[in-house]
């Protein structure tokens, strides 16, 4: 799927045939290319867009939870179609990927999962209106997820993994997690990493670069940027605070 972030004029595209269509693509214009379908796209000027690729098996798994059937067929919209919800998710992905700090993998995974669900609900023959889950996680599910995150917060964690631990579908996990813990999964994970980093920094026994590594951050700069953003202090300021 491609989502246009800046207007593009006179695109020439084909999908599933040799017929070429020329069109102007406004901001939010979405193009969907199902797996195994030949396509072409030509343009005259620099384009700014986000491309999201979801493996067919992942989309099928989401479809099982959404429709109780993995056999769904994508129905690409007409060239030039604007999708504002897809645009919002694409802009969030772009912002996360272009920040100076390393991107939050769980946050990106959450956005891609939500994008896949939106794709199924909007551009398949089985499309339906979104039905939000009524409540949060059960007490047992919440405990299992909390314990799993406490044990693995320094590692890469994926939405599907957490949903499996909770025993619910990936489709509903993000909303139900937020209703239970008050924040989305990626932010909960950031807090765990920052809490651990703060503990090590206050103890003062390890170099800041090693604290960053042990806390699950890609490097010292990533820790500093994240800590400043969410806690209002840099690691150095925290270490020497009285």
**Helix 170-181 vs helix 139-152: crossing angle, to nearest 10:** 90
pLDDT, position 169? 86
Checking if the pLDDT of 133 tops 80, the result is no
Encode pLDDT of 83-101 as tens digits.
999 999 999 999 999 987 7
Output the pLDDT for position 131. 52
- Tell me what the mean pLDDT of segment 127-136 comes to: 61
C-beta pairs of 105-110 under 8 Å, 24+ apart in sequence: 105/156, 105/157, 105/158, 106/156, 106/157, 106/158, 106/159, 106/185, 106/186, 106/189, 107/184, 107/186, 109/158, 109/159, 110/159, 110/174, 110/184, 110/185, 110/186
Mean pLDDT of 215-238: 91
Which has the closest alpha carbon to 54: 112, 95, 103?
Answer: 112
With bands split at pLDDT 50, 70 and 90, how would you rate the model's confidence at 212?
very high
Residue 115 · residue 144 · CB < 8 Å: no
Predicted local distance difference test score (pLDDT) of residue 92: 95
pLDDT tens digits along 51-71? 999 999 999 989 988 888 888
- Using alpha carbons, select from 32, 37, 124 the residue that is nearest to residue 72: 124
pTM: 0.79
Q: pLDDT by residue (tens digit) across 152-161?
A: 999 999 999 9
pLDDT tier, 130 (very low <50, low <70, confident <90, very high otherwise): very low
């Amino acid at each position: 799927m491609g989502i246009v972030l800046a207007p593009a004029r006179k695109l020439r595209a084909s999908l599933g045939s040799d017929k070429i269509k020329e069109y102007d693509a406004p901001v939010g214009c979405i193009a969907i290319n199902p797996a195994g379908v030949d396509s072409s796209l030509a343009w005259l000027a620099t384009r700014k867009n986000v491309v999201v690729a979801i493996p067919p098996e992942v989309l099928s798994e989401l479809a099982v939870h959404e429709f109780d059937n993995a056999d769904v067929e994508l129905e690409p919209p007409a060239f030039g179609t604007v999708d504002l919800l897809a645009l919002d998710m694409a802009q969030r992905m772009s912002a996360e990927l272009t920040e100076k700090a390393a991107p939050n993998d769980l946050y990106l995974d959450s956005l891609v999962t939500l994008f896949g669900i939106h794709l199924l609900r909007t551009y398949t023959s089985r499309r339906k209106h979104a039905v939000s889950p009524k409540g949060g996680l059960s007490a047992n599910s919440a405990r299992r997820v909390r314990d799993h995150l406490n044990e693995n917060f320094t590692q890469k964690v994926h939405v599907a993994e957490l949903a499996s631990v909770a025993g619910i579908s990936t489709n509903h996990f993000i909303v139900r997690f937020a209703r239970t813990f008050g924040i989305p999964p990626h932010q909960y994970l950031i807090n765990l990493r920052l809490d651990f980093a703060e503990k090590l920094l206050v103890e003062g026994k390890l170099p800041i670069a090693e604290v960053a590594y042990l806390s699950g951050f890609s490097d010292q700069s990533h820790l500093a940027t994240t800590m400043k953003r969410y806690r209002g202090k840099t690691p150095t300021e925290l270490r020497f605070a009285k």
